[in-house]
Structure 1
Amino acid sequence: MNLHTLSILVENRPGVLSRITGLFSRRGYNIESLAVGTCEIADMSRITVTATGNDAMLEQVRKQLNKLIDVIKVSDLTATERVERELALIRVLASSVTVRTKILQIAKIFGVSVVDAGEKSHS
């Protein structure tokens, strides 16, 4: 079982994401990662899906995706060079300046970008 990354260009309409994720679940494949957003082409979105499976599974899913009306193009990014990043937004309650300083030191060790280090949290 390999990790596969698919880029799916779709028309930006309600329900498209639901139909695509439904296709994966009906086939019994688990989605490891999912990112969706509008893209450089007006009225279209790009869905990036990472799923675990073999090459036969990938080919079957690609064929099924291409049959969906709102899908314009399916690309396999597994073997191509790409940049992968992870993002986490974490809010930490620091009860004192000392604790806040220690948190910032730990964040610096791991290359974390600190957005706000104020005394009060804004919800």
Structure 2
Amino acid sequence: MRHTISILVENKFGVLARVSGLFSGRGFNIDSLNVAPTHDATLSRITAVLKGDDSALDQVTKQLRKLVNVVEVVDFKEGQAVQRELLLAKVKADGKSRSEIMQICDIFRAKIVNVAHDSVIVELTGDEGKTSAFLKLIEGFGVIELARTGALALIR
């Protein structure tokens, strides 16, 4: 089963290694991992999307709460959180395909953030379904490079 976990931690070196090591040591595959400071510079938020069974996840969250630098651990249930992902894609765009790519971007409310002679860089923010649907449509033009942040989540 797929789980999204938010872990508020002290912003100190080595904390991310201990948290991710706890996941891998318990056999969880991390689908995405996102870490950044919060509005309080002394704290960071780790958002992890994991695959694993519920009982093992309960055990891991209990162990996470025992780590010294962990302030809070939240396992988001389905529909309990707002989740978003950022995607940057460099797409081949010649004179013929550029207008079609722009139309797709309008439909998905994506932004073209860079234009070159033979390519465009597109920025898209949305849930995983939206980003996957967008990627399926632009793959036909030729994706040169792709970067995704993974999920960010906050409780409703």
Aligned positions, number: 120
State the TM-score, normalized to the length of structure 2: 0.66
State the TM-score, normalized to the length of structure 1: 0.81
What is the CA-CA distance between 1:118 and the residue it aligns to?
Answer: 4.8
What is the CA-CA distance between 1:58 and the residue it aligns to?
Answer: 1.6
Question: SS in structure 2 opposite 1:22?
Answer: helix
**Counterpart in 2 of 1:11?**
10
Q: Relative to 1, partners in 2 of residues 1:95 and 1:52: Cα closer, same or farther, differing over 3 Å?
A: same
Among 102, 111, 114, the residue aligned to 1:113: 111
What letter corresponds to residue 109 of structure 2 in structure 1? G
What is the aligned-residue identity percentage? 47
What is the CA-CA distance between 1:87 and the residue it aligns to?
Answer: 1.7
Q: Say if 2:29 and 2:51, in contact at 8 Å, map to a contact too.
A: yes
> For residues 120 and 54 of structure 1, what CA distance do their matches in structure 2 show?
46
Deviations 1:23-77 (CA, angstroms, capped at 9, x unpaired): 1111111112211110122311010112122221121001111222211111122
> For residues 40 and 105 of structure 1, what CA distance do their matches in structure 2 show?
36
Q: Say if 1:9 and 1:44, in contact at 8 Å, map to a contact too.
A: yes
Structure 1 residue runs of 4 or more that deviate by more than 4 Å after TM superposition: none
What is the CA-CA distance between 1:10 and the residue it aligns to?
Answer: 0.6
Report which of the two has the higher share of strand. 2
What is the CA-CA distance between 1:79 and the residue it aligns to?
Answer: 4.8
User: Which stretches in structure 2 are left out of the alignment for 5+ residues?
Assistant: 120-156
What is the CA-CA distance between 1:112 and the residue it aligns to?
Answer: 2.3
> For residues 109 and 92 of structure 2, what CA distance do their matches in structure 1 show?
20
Q: Say if 2:31 and 2:50, in contact at 8 Å, map to a contact too.
A: yes
Comparing 104-113 with 46-55, greater Cα deviation is found at: 104-113
